[in-house]
């Protein structure tokens, strides 16, 4: 009887750890392009506008990466990304599931 309770407790802990990990909204943004990213935005798909520039005063240099916590407190998993490059080009990618996505790559 004690074994059954212990087994059930282990299963419940494992399930809760799995569900928490599924909601991890940290994504590594890899800049594999030839240009620095000077602005980066991530807004949940139902937002009316782009949120604040996540990079702030820093830039994401070509060939480098940064880990970003994209959790905006809304509980959303689907986010749109916008990168602004040093040459003025902008690249928007829609429908990114940040609850499942571990990395996102920008390439030439």
- pLDDT tens for 2-60 read 544 444 444 444 443 444 444 678 999 999 999 999 999 999 988 889 989 999 999 99
Residue at 62 is within a domain: yes
**Residue 59 main-chain phi, psi, to 5 deg:** -130, 160
Distance CA 55, CA 59 (A): 6
* Residue partners of 66: CB distance under 8 A and separation at least 6: 28, 29, 55, 60
**Total number of domains in the chain:** 1
Residue at 2 is within a domain: no
Domain with 103, as residue range(s), is 25-107
Mean pLDDT of 91-102: 94
Residue at 12 is within a domain: no
Comparing 101 with 2, the larger pLDDT belongs to 101
Q: To which H or E segment does residue 14 belong?
A: helix 2-22
Residue at 7 is within a domain: no
The radius of gyration computed from the CA coordinates of the chain, to the nearest angstrom, equals 18
Q: What is the pLDDT of residues 44-91, one digit of tens each?
A: 988 889 989 999 999 999 999 999 998 878 888 999 999 999 999 999
Residue at 102 is within a domain: yes
pLDDT given for residue 65 in this prediction: 97
CATH of the domain at 30: 2.60.40.2890
């Amino acid at each position: 009887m004690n074994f059954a309770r212990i087994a059930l407790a282990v299963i419940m802990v494992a399930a809760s750890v799995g569900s928490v990990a599924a909601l991890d909204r940290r994504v590594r943004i890899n800049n594999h392009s030839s240009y620095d990213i000077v602005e980066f935005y991530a807004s949940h798909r139902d937002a009316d506008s782009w949120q604040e520039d996540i990079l702030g005063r820093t830039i994401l240099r070509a060939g480098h990466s940064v880990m970003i916590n994209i959790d905006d407190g809304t509980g959303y998993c689907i986010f749109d990304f916008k990168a602004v490059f040093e040459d003025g080009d902008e690249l928007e990618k829609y429908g990114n599931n940040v609850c499942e996505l571990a990395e996102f790559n920008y390439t030439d």
